A and B are shown apart, each in its own frame.
Chain A
Amino acid sequence: MRQRFTPLWLLLPAAVVLGGLFLYPMYQLGLISVLDFRQAQVSGGQPTRFVGLDNYVQLFTDPQFWSVLLATVGFAAACVVATLAVGAGLAVLLTRISRVPRLLLSLAAMAAWAVPAVSGSTVWMFLFDTDLGFVNQLLGTEGFNWMYDRYSAFALVGAVVVWSSFPFVMVTLYAGIEAISRSVLEAAALDGASTWRTFWQIMVPMLRPVLAVVVIQSIIWDFKIFTQIYVMTRGGGLAGQNLTLNVYAYQQAFASSEYGLGSAIGVVMMLILLAVTVLYLRTLRRSGEPL
């Protein structure tokens, strides 16, 4: 009898914490998104009012929302592709170099990985500063402000994101490649397969489960980037040109006191990532994951 209840006791603390700080807030997020919830309601001056899908209607008829959604998807996609290309390329490079360069490269990558998002953002801002930035002085483009143009600002933030997230991809894929038995690769080399062919026809198929995890993780991370954008573009860039869904929701709620609208954006974001997660779970199951 005691035996049967033991797992419940062990799970109880986790259940309490996650119930209170995950499930309940998720329910609240959905609830606030169907309320008229602004400054007056927060301070208690006016009662909250159920407005149905009004917040969503307002959102979906606002051209800015669609522009922000498009920017978010485009930015995340570019970051994911760049991160994977750099990470995979360097993982393959790691397998083909001597010990010391390999150690140097992995230490450098680890260091970049460890740098907190805020510090990373400030350093790159200094490197690309209009007048005092080393990059402008090197290129002879003093006085060029990288943050004025929408695309150069996104590109710079994207560079920081890739710099700090390629190490995860590199390390994971490298571990995956190392796990492929040497004999397979040697056999391919003996049969005269080129590096390119070995990569596409042997490594990629064998690494498919690991690749799936890395791709989905990257999508999820890059879709919800907040700190780099908020810090580097000072909360969304000139006239909000660099807003992404996350920052947009935050600004609507905490800068404009449109908590209902902000929550509706949060719900949209949650649904998009839920779809990605379902995809992830299906991939895991297909790769034979026993739960």
Chain B
Amino acid sequence: MRRVLDALAVLIAAVVIFPIYWMVLAAIKPAGEIQSLHQRPWTLSPSLDAFRRVLAVNDFGRYLLNSLIVALVVVLISGLIAFLAAVALTRFHFRFRTTILVVFLIAQMVPVEALTIPLFFLVRDLGALNTLGSLMLVHTAFTLPFAIWMLRGFVAAVPDELDEAAQLDGASRLTVLWRILFPLIAPGLAATSVFSFIHAWNDFLFARTFIISATDRQTLPMALLVFFKPDENDWGAIMAASTLMTVPVLIFFLLVRRRLVSGLGGAVKD
């Protein structure tokens, strides 16, 4: 029985991974094989032509860089603000604390897609259309509620006695914050960062809405759609671009796999 289940699991794993395999395979297939009416699930003459086409001709490197900049800025700012808020919500007891927590929880559920219209006008009035800053701004806001909610669990796990001992030894509040709490919740911050990074990296809707005419400020998801043409799609280039977009997230995910699961468990239980 166990052997049957093992075989079944391996088979399912193969099916689940197959689209990713197909994406990478199509990216390194020579153009002739992509256009073939008899697609083979392997290639004997791998080539980097599609990647060259994407990177050299279409300046995909720039979009990759744009996406990276937006995602990293969002991770840094959102992480910092979330850390401060999480400390306030776990280390202090004040009126409306529970109310604020519930508000953050509700904020996670808000369909931010519905806010596209007002945010478009807000960004327009700020004169920030066609800038990467507009994307950093909205994604910092969208990732905050979840980041606060998740970090709260990690801050709460650091015993109160630790801050008190440091304060008795004459450390200021700021020192406690930076020298004691911050390093201790670094793992939590890492897990939170993954979520913020992926959120910003994957965004298609706001990039499409805010970056209207400045093609050099586009991020990956929008740039990818350039290869869809009414007459004939350049599948080799599309798959190469998709691969370029997927690889950083994939590496990130596999690196923090364990932490992700335990962090999620914390977020779910918390």
Binary interface profile of A, 1-22, with partner B (CB < 8 Å = 1, else 0)? Answer: 0001011101101100110111
Instruction: Please name the residue on chain A nearest to B232 by beta carbon.
Output: A132
* Given A7-B92, A13-B85, A101-B13, A117-B202 contact (CB < 8 Å): yes
Contact B204 A231 (CB under 8 A): yes
Contact B268 A210 (CB under 8 A): yes
- Chain A facing B: main interface SS: helix
Complex alpha-carbon distance, A116 and B225, angstroms = 14
Contact B116 A253 (CB under 8 A): yes
Chain A's nearest CB lies how many Å from the CB of B99? Answer: 9
Chain A's nearest CB lies how many Å from the CB of B208? Answer: 8
- Residue of A4, A7, A124, A262 with most chain B CB atoms under a 10 A cut-off: A7
- Residue of B118, B204, B220 with most chain A CB atoms under a 10 A cut-off: B118
Contact B84 A10 (CB under 8 A): yes
Chain B residues with Cβ below 8 Å from A291 are 98, 101-102
Chain B's nearest CB lies how many Å from the CB of A286? Answer: 15
Complex alpha-carbon distance, A151 and B100, angstroms = 43
Contact B268 A213 (CB under 8 A): yes
Residues B34-90 near A (CB distance < 8 A): 34-39, 41, 80-82, 84-85, 87-89
Chain B residues with Cβ below 8 Å from A93 are 5, 8-9, 12
Chain A residues with Cβ below 8 Å from B224 are 118-119, 122
Complex alpha-carbon distance, A259 and B115, angstroms = 12
* Given A26-B115, A175-B261, A11-B19 contact (CB < 8 Å): no
* Given A109-B16, A116-B221, A32-B117 contact (CB < 8 Å): yes
* Given A17-B81, A172-B268, A276-B109, A28-B122 contact (CB < 8 Å): yes
Apart from A97-B2, A101-B7, A119-B243, list 8 A-B contacts with CB within 8 A: A21-B141, A105-B10, A111-B17, A114-B246, A115-B246, A132-B235, A171-B264, A266-B114
- Interchain residue pairs A-B with the least CB separation, the first 8: A266-B114, A28-B118, A21-B141, A10-B88, A114-B253, A119-B242, A7-B92, A25-B118
